[in-house]
Amino acid sequence: MSQERTFKPLHLAILTVSDTRTFETDTSGLLLQQSAQQEGHEVAIRRIVPDDRYLIRAVVSAWIADPLITAIVTTGGTGVTGRDGTPEAVGVLLDKTLEGFGEVFRALSFQDIGTSTIQSRAIAGVANGTFIFCLPGSSGACRLGWDSLIRPQLDYRTKPCNLVELMPRLLET
């Protein structure tokens, strides 16, 4: 007989990268917060920072160093304009990248927005035992990324495997 697994709530941090959004207009950050909480996770902190790779890097670095935070989800700054720098800000912090995240995200996104998906530079990885997912800024992209990729991988009950079951081994040397 197979034993059912019990849900393990995580402590998440959510970062919106935008020059224009406020907490009143940040529909993507709010969607991610509500989605995580509906699953049973705790959102320990949610912030908004401008499209500045050094500010993004400072916030994400602090969260990586915080032993309470087990996963970080960012929204915004993954496009190709001059101000979009989330992948550059976060990428250098990653100990390991999860290349499949961006690949699968774009494959799923293609079904909704066609070739426009090539403009997305969604990335994910792990740093200091903390999982980091960087999504585009639209609420549709955040919903797709959360529902199709992040939610099942941050759920210990997902089989055959999930990221939560790897957490105790992330800092092994």
Instruction: Return the CATH number at 45.
Output: 3.40.980.10
Question: Taking the CB of residue 111, how many other CB atoms lie within 10 A of it?
Answer: 9
Q: Residue 1 falls within a domain, yes or no?
A: no
Q: Residue 173 falls within a domain, yes or no?
A: no
What is the mean pLDDT of the segment spanning 15-19? 97
pLDDT computed for residue 172 by the predictor: 86
**Residue 2 — pLDDT band, cuts 50, 70, 90?**
low
Our count of domains for the chain comes to: 1
Q: Residue 6 falls within a domain, yes or no?
A: no
**Residue 1 — pLDDT band, cuts 50, 70, 90?**
very low
What is the mean pLDDT of the segment spanning 36-47? 98
- Helix, strand, coil percentages, rounded to 5, for the chain: 45, 20, 40
Q: How many whole angstroms separate alpha carbon 162 and alpha carbon 18?
A: 30
pLDDT computed for residue 4 by the predictor: 85
Residue 19 is classified by DSSP as S
Higher pLDDT, 168 or 25: 25
pLDDT tops 80 at residue 54: yes
How high is the mean pLDDT of the chain?
96
User: Parallel, antiparallel, or unpaired: how do β-strands 71-75 and 96-97 relate?
Assistant: unpaired
Q: Residue 137 falls within a domain, yes or no?
A: yes
Which range marks the domain in which residue 50 is found? 11-167
Q: Residue 18 falls within a domain, yes or no?
A: yes
